[in-house]
Amino acid sequence: MSEETGRLRVFVLGAVFLGALAVLSARLWYVQIARGEEYTARIRNRSQVTVRLPAVRGEILDRNGVKLVENGASFNVDFDLPELVRAYRKEFGQPPLKTYRGTVHGMPKQLKIEDVEEVVEKMVVPRLKQLNLAKDYNSARMQKHYQKQAQIPFNYMQDIDYETMVRLQENNIGLPGVRVEVAANRLYPYKALASHILGYTGMPNDTNMAEAKKFNYYQPDMEGRSQIELYMNDYLKGTAGVSIRERDVKGNVTGEVRRIQPKQGANVSLTIDARLQSIVEKALRSVGRGAAVVVDPNNGDILAMASVPSFDPNIFIPSIKAADWKALKADEADPLVNRALSGYAPGSTYKIPISLAGLRAGATKRSFNCSGGVQYGAFFMKCHHVHGTVDLQQAIKASCNSYFYQMGNVAGIDYIVSTGNMLGLGQKTGVPLSGEASGILPGKEWLEKFYPEHRWSSGYTANTSIGQGFVLATPLQMALVAATVANGGISYYPRLVDKVVEQDGKVVFQPEPKVRADLVADGGLSPQQIEQVRRGMWKVVNEAGGTAGRARIKGMEVAGKTGTAQFMRGKVKDNRVWFIAFAPYQNPRYAVCVMVEGGHAGGAVAAPIAGKILEDAMKLDDGGALANMKIEPMEPAKGNFKHVASVDFGRPIPAATTAEAPPANAADAAAGNVPTPAGQAARPTEAPNIRAEADERGKVKNNKNPISRFFDNFRRPPKKKENAQ
């Protein structure tokens, strides 16, 4: 090799070294200078833990500021499953893997994942057993939780007592990934009071995992599952915060370095009066199944709404035991159903809308003869008495079926439907509660849609005119009918939410009373015509021969209308009995609807309940005897299927009270013997969080794994007193 060739090789080798050094220098500049902040942040993030802090929900109050829903502190034991897996890996190596069926880019595929059941069995349960604190759990659910939402802590123990929390902290359990967390839990201080209005909360079923992956430890917010908790959730839920915590080289969290405080949700004030709500619920507990609604006829405010049987929403917090949920679902009396929003045949209370329709059609001074019934085609549709010739007021007072068969047909089904629409019948009221039924306002178009093989007839109209056949209405709808008559013809939408107020006092939502229709301005009725209906309702309660003498109150004039609708539960008669009313007669303050299942007649069962409600409501007004009444927590009302012959509350029963008999089934036959709706039950729209029962692998008594040497560095010898436990 020549000297020149040797020099060339040295030059090339030097150039290569210089080039490599230049590339290395450029790379160092790129990493340390150009993207230095980014990589520094990555390193910093590896030494920090970001924890999402759920917001505290706003409170729910009544119209006077009484707190119906509060927040209380709850201590929970949670497992950070990825942290437990990392700790296991450091101590024992790779955990055993489990195969499961998953998807990758939308395609099904067999995937493998760490067996966290084994991790918990070997690392956590032995230490908890040593402290006598181990509890059974559902291991399969935990494994599924790890597969789908690992960033969210798995709840091992809920709402532990203070003593257990202290024992865990005193013994310094020392397990990475096992945390005792303090959480804000919903508290319903009056238990079952207004449970069908307030609803309950639960953990979200579908967490936004893209959002969850931004945190090392994601604690989701509780969300509303039914009723006001659900419908006002966006106002109640608040804004989450963040806690940034430091982690040492061993992976242990050593302290918090920065915190963004969560913002509590807004408070929701309702239109209900908790005192009146308590009065209504106590009166309604005289029966096993029923509903009652009280509204302000001057603006549509719902002052009270109750349904029996009832439930205690506290059992749903933070989740309901599987056995408790099974018992609620198996209860034939259906305590979860809000009967105030469910649809039932309204019976003779429907004669009030028919009266208004007849007056709109021009039958102001019409009288009709009652000879015990009316013939329609081949069928004789009965009345419960022979009333002779009666006018509108007398017909309302005596609840004469024959009169209303004929009045309905004089008005015609088109006037009945248009008047019903103005009153809000056959349509949801829009009240912000779960599962409201619409009821049914039948007419020609309705029949053609659902029973196209049939044509509307005078028999259908007659049956509709006494609140039977296809007709369904909710107690809330019928309370609003009573309110419309009470105030002289203004039909209001119901108002349940009074206002929403943020924690700084700013009002962010305050719906105004809303008019649905004005029967005078829009419907062509005169105040004198509406007074005819009002006066007829006054006679129902206050004149001899009326059907609701048991609703009379000393010192207050009550006007009302009874109703009894036949219903068969299997082979057992299970009538729905009704009473709608308003009081005082002059300048009304209350409109009421009471509906009872399994009652004998509206005048004997529903009317006395309404009378008791109005009597006690009067004692709330103007510094009355109950103005400062103390509201007590209420245990859930138990349902039953006993036949209720009468209710009296120890009040005197007027001698001259006429019982109203239910109409005969001949009406259905005359209408064409088409099947009639059984009813529309208003049920919660979201299932609760159900606490899964322990499976076989999660039963700690069967766990025979020895305590691993992992704990040697963490154990603190338990005190003798604790060992004794």
Domains parsed from the chain with CATH numbers = 48-102+113-268+695-724 (3.90.1310.10), 274-502+512-670 (3.40.710.10)
pLDDT for 709 equals 39
pLDDT band for position 603 (cuts 50, 70, 90): very high
DSSP, collapsed to helix, strand or coil, labels residue 422 as helix
Average pLDDT over residues 503-514: 96
Task: Say how far residue 183 (Cα) sits from the centre of its chain.
Answer: 22
pLDDT at 42 over 80: no
User: Which span out of 85-94, 138-147, 594-603 was modeled with the highest average pLDDT?
Assistant: 594-603
State both tokens at 502. Answer: 């943020």
> At 460, is the pLDDT very low, low, confident or very high (cuts 50, 70, 90)?
very high
Of 207-216, 259-268, 314-323, 571-580, the one with minimum mean pLDDT is 207-216
pLDDT at 177 (0 to 100): 82
When mean pLDDT is compared across 62-66, 100-104, 610-614, the lowest value belongs to 100-104
Q: What percent of the chain has pLDDT over 90?
A: 56
Identify the band that residue 704 occupies on the pLDDT scale cut at 50, 70 and 90.
Answer: very low
Helices (H) and strands (E) in the chain, counts: 24, 30
Q: What is the pLDDT of residue 465?
A: 96
Token pair of 697, please? 């692998």
Report the pLDDT value the prediction gives residue 673, as an integer from 0 to 100.
53
Mean pLDDT of 25-34: 64
Contact 53/241 with Cβ under 8 angstroms? yes
Q: pLDDT at residue 724 above 50?
A: no
Higher pLDDT, 717 or 725: 717
What pLDDT, on the 0 to 100 scale, is given for residue 561? 98
CA distance 562 to 558: 13
- What's the pLDDT tens digit per position in 339-370? 999 999 999 999 999 999 999 999 888 899 99
Q: Say yes or no to pLDDT of 17 above 80.
A: no
CB 120 within 8 A of CB 126: no
Name which of 298, 259, 235, 393 is nearest 589 in CA terms: 298
Would you say residue 2 has pLDDT above 70? no
Sign of the dihedral through C-alpha 129, 135, 137, 142: negative
Place 276 in a pLDDT band, splitting at 50, 70 and 90: very high
Ranges 375-379, 402-406, 697-701, most confident: 402-406
DSSP string, 25-37: HHHHHIIIIITHH
User: pLDDT tens digits, residue range 483-495?
Assistant: 999 999 999 999 9
At residue 41, does pLDDT exceed 80? no
The pair of three-digit structure tokens given for residue 291, joined into one six-digit string:
């509903």
- The pLDDT assigned to 127 comes to 82
Can you tell me the mean pLDDT for 22-30?
67
Over 50: is that where the pLDDT of 446 sits? yes
Residue range 62-84: mean pLDDT, rounded: 91
Please determine, for residue 143, whether its predicted confidence score (pLDDT) is greater than 80: yes
Lowest mean pLDDT among 131-145, 316-330, 457-471: 131-145
Percent helix / strand / coil, the chain, rounded to 5: 35, 25, 40
Mean of per-residue pLDDT scores for the chain: 86
3-state class (DSSP) for residue 693: coil
Residue 665 has pLDDT above 70, yes or no: no
What is the reported pTM?
0.84
DSSP 603: I
Mean pLDDT of 521-529: 96
Q: Which of 83-97, 332-346, 545-559, 576-590 has the lowest mean pLDDT?
A: 83-97
pLDDT at 33 exceeding the cut of 80: no
Q: For residue 131, what pLDDT band results from cuts at 50, 70 and 90?
A: confident
CA distances for 111 relative to 144, 150, 475, 643, angstroms: 13, 16, 54, 60
Identify the pLDDT of residue 303: 98
pLDDT surpassing 50 at residue 718: no
Among 13, 28, 30, 328, smallest CA distance to 192 is for 328
pLDDT attached to residue 658: 61
**Quick one: pLDDT at residue 205?**
72
pLDDT-derived band at 672, boundaries 50, 70, 90: very low
Check if the beta carbon of residue 530 is closer than 8 Å to that of residue 304: no
Beta carbons of 97 and 119 less than 8 angstroms apart: no
Q: In terms of pLDDT, which residue wins out, 3 or 514?
A: 514
Is residue 548 within 8 Å of 607, Cβ to Cβ?
yes
Neighbours of 708 (CB within 10 A): 14
**By mean pLDDT, which of 164-173, 230-239, 390-399, 447-456 is the weakest?**
164-173
pLDDT band at 723 (very low <50, low <70, confident <90, very high): very low
d(CA 527, CA 537): 15
Work out the percent of the chain whose per-residue pLDDT is above 70. Answer: 84
Alpha-carbon radius of gyration of the chain = 35
Angle, helices 139-148 vs 116-123, to 10°: value is: 120
In tens, the pLDDT along 529-544 reads 999 999 999 999 999 9
Comparing 316 with 573, which gets the higher pLDDT?
Answer: 316
The model's confidence at residue 43, banded by pLDDT at 50, 70 and 90, is very low
218-230 per-position pLDDT tens digit? 788 889 999 999 9
- Residue 259 pLDDT more than 50? yes
| Banded pLDDT at 52 (limits 50, 70, 90) | confident
The whole-number pLDDT of residue 35 equals 61
pLDDT beyond 50 at 236: yes
